[in-house]
Amino acid sequence: MRVITTIKELQTEMALQKKKDKTIGFVPTMGYLHEGHLTLIRRARQENDLVVVSIFVNPIQFGPTEDYTSYPRDFERDRVLAEWENVDYLFYPSVEEMYPHKLSVKLTVQDRTDVLCGKSRPGHFDGVATVITKLFNIVMPTRAYFGKKDAQQVAVIEGVIADFNFPIELVAVDIVREADGLAKSSRNVNLLPEERLEAPILFKSLTAATTPIDQGERNPAKIENVIKEMISNESNGEIDYVEIYSYPQLKPVKTLAGRVIIALAVKFSKVRLIDNVIIEIAGS
Ligand code: AMP
């Protein structure tokens, strides 16, 4: 595995490999790798000649009061894990390398961001779209791998790929969970011990919500309330949102029908967690 820290070196290497007709699978991450990331890496490994993983905690996707400085980082550990997974190139640029001066052009995401994390983290998806566009231009992968844990991010990146004509196949991978159902996340280490015990209620409430749906309930507000009640009864987390939208359009639904996403975000003392389930309403 080669660790590369400069854009120029990676671009030169990727151009060389493309000349040899190698397919390139790309997994962008913010590091502090866990089984969720490793699942994306393994999928990329299976489907491509070469695998590129990037580790970059992107400052421009964090709001001023968010956890950029406390976001967990451990490059040595990540390097070992990536090597273990037979990654070919680990791209680990500095902030100065990625943003040597104030950007003269910044992307603004106009669609699918007026809800969920787009609403509660203003500017977040502009930062994501900007860094992903830079990374796509640097790596020029055949396929790019993203987790459905960040379902809205997948929807936004589909837009980036379509609007800016990237010849890249987006592969969306299912959420990887802990044994107790908590979605794996680098941020989980920033939960206090008692919060870690409460956090599985996020997925439990999403799962429980499917029971009334199976029994015929079609009112999204009622389902949202079932989830909110469970979370507030069984944790001290502060609910940021619990919302249901059509997926992948992310439009409000008056009646549950077709494919919908039930998504939530909950703030604990030092960390905000997200989770979702995407379900198909039978017979609609
Ligand atoms: P991050 O390092 O949090 O930016 O995540 C990098 C990629 O890994 C994103 O595409 C995430 O959606 C994905 N990812 C993170 N956690 C999980 C998980 N538990 N299951 C599946 N994919 C995940």
Q: Do 193 and 116 belong to one domain? A: no
CA distance 128 to 134: 10
Q: Do 151 and 270 belong to one domain? A: no
pTM higher than 0.95 for the full model?
Answer: yes
pLDDT at residue 283 tops 80 = no
Query: 268-279: per-residue pLDDT in tens?
Result: 999 999 999 999
Q: For ligand 1, what atom is nearest to the CA of residue 175? A: 20
Q: Do 61 and 137 belong to one domain? A: yes
| Alpha carbon nearest to ligand 1 atom 12, residue | 147
| Alpha carbon nearest to ligand 1 atom 5, residue | 29
Please answer whether residues 30 and 57 qualify as being in contact, where contact means their C-beta atoms are separated by less than 8 angstroms. Answer: yes
Decide if 40 is inside a domain. yes
Ligand 1: which of 32, 37, 58, 87 to mutate, most ligand atoms within 8 Å of CB? Answer: 37
Place of tokens 């992903």: 132
17 vs 46, 56, 63, 196, CA distance in Å? 18, 23, 37, 44
Place of tokens 């680098």: 186
Ligand 1: which of 26, 27, 29 to mutate, most ligand atoms within 8 Å of CB? Answer: 29
Q: Do 145 and 70 belong to one domain? A: yes
Q: For ligand 1, what atom is nearest to the CA of residue 27? A: 7
Q: Which of 128, 144, 173 is the last residue of a domain?
A: 173
pLDDT at residue 284 tops 90 = no
Q: Do 72 and 39 belong to one domain? A: yes
Q: What share of the chain is helix, strand, coil (3-state, %, to 5)?
A: 40, 20, 35
pLDDT at residue 181 tops 90 = yes
232 vs 38, 68, 228, CA distance in Å? 32, 27, 6
- pLDDT band at residue 101 under the 50/70/90 scheme: very high
- pLDDT band at residue 106 under the 50/70/90 scheme: confident
- The CATH number of residue 28's host domain is 3.40.50.620
Q: Do 204 and 98 belong to one domain? A: no
pLDDT at residue 118 tops 80 = yes
Q: Do 159 and 194 belong to one domain? A: no
Expressed as residue numbers, the domain containing 50 is: 2-173
Query: 42-75: per-residue pLDDT in tens?
Result: 999 999 999 999 999 999 999 999 999 999 999 9
> In the structure, which protein residues have their CB atom closer than 6 angstroms to any atom of ligand 1?
29-30, 36-37, 39-40, 146-147, 149-150, 173, 175-176, 183-186
**Residue 177: DSSP 8-state:** B
pLDDT at residue 282 tops 90 = no
pLDDT at residue 220 tops 80 = yes
Q: Do 127 and 160 belong to one domain? A: yes
Mean pLDDT of the chain: 97
